[in-house]
Amino acid sequence: MIREILFKWFGIEKELCASCETLRLQLEIANYEKRQMLDTILSFTKPPEIRLPETKEIEPVIPKAVPWAVRRQMLEAEDKERARIMKQKQEEIAELEKQVGVDNG
């Protein structure tokens, strides 16, 4: 009794024998396994989580076979845009040549 009081007052830890340490470790393992089993059993009572699939924006279906009239209009529009860009570039080049003082011919 006096020994225990001295150990408590001076903060001295008791030396445990090997069998006591083994029993302590086995008790920790058993308690951990019981906790795991209890968590597993309790997880059966929870409703399952429902995951909704991610919704993606639906793109309109473009037909692969484009009628010739539509295709021709698309090609003409592309050609007009290219011609406009080329004309604009030529005007920019001519203006730069005037500023630099280079004659084209």
Tell me whether residue 36 is in a domain: yes
Rounded Cα distance, 101 and 94, in Å: 10
Kindly report, residue by residue over 24-51, the tens digit of the pLDDT: 999 999 999 999 999 998 888 888 778 8
Asked whether residue 65 carries a pLDDT value surpassing 70, the answer given is yes
What's the token pair of residue 41? 């059993």
Confidence at residue 87, expressed as pLDDT on a 0 to 100 scale: 96
DSSP class of 17: P
How many separate domains does the chain show? 2
**Residue 61 in domain:** no
Residue 56 belongs to some domain of the structure: no
Look at residue 59 and tell me if it is in a domain: no
Instruction: Give the mean pLDDT of the chain.
Output: 86
pLDDT band at 105 (very low <50, low <70, confident <90, very high): low
**Boundaries of domain holding 36:** 2-45
Q: Is 52 part of any domain?
A: no
The answer as to whether 60 is a domain residue is no
Q: How far is residue 17's CA from residue 102's CA, in Å, rounded to a whole number? A: 103
Mean pLDDT to the nearest integer, 59-77: 86
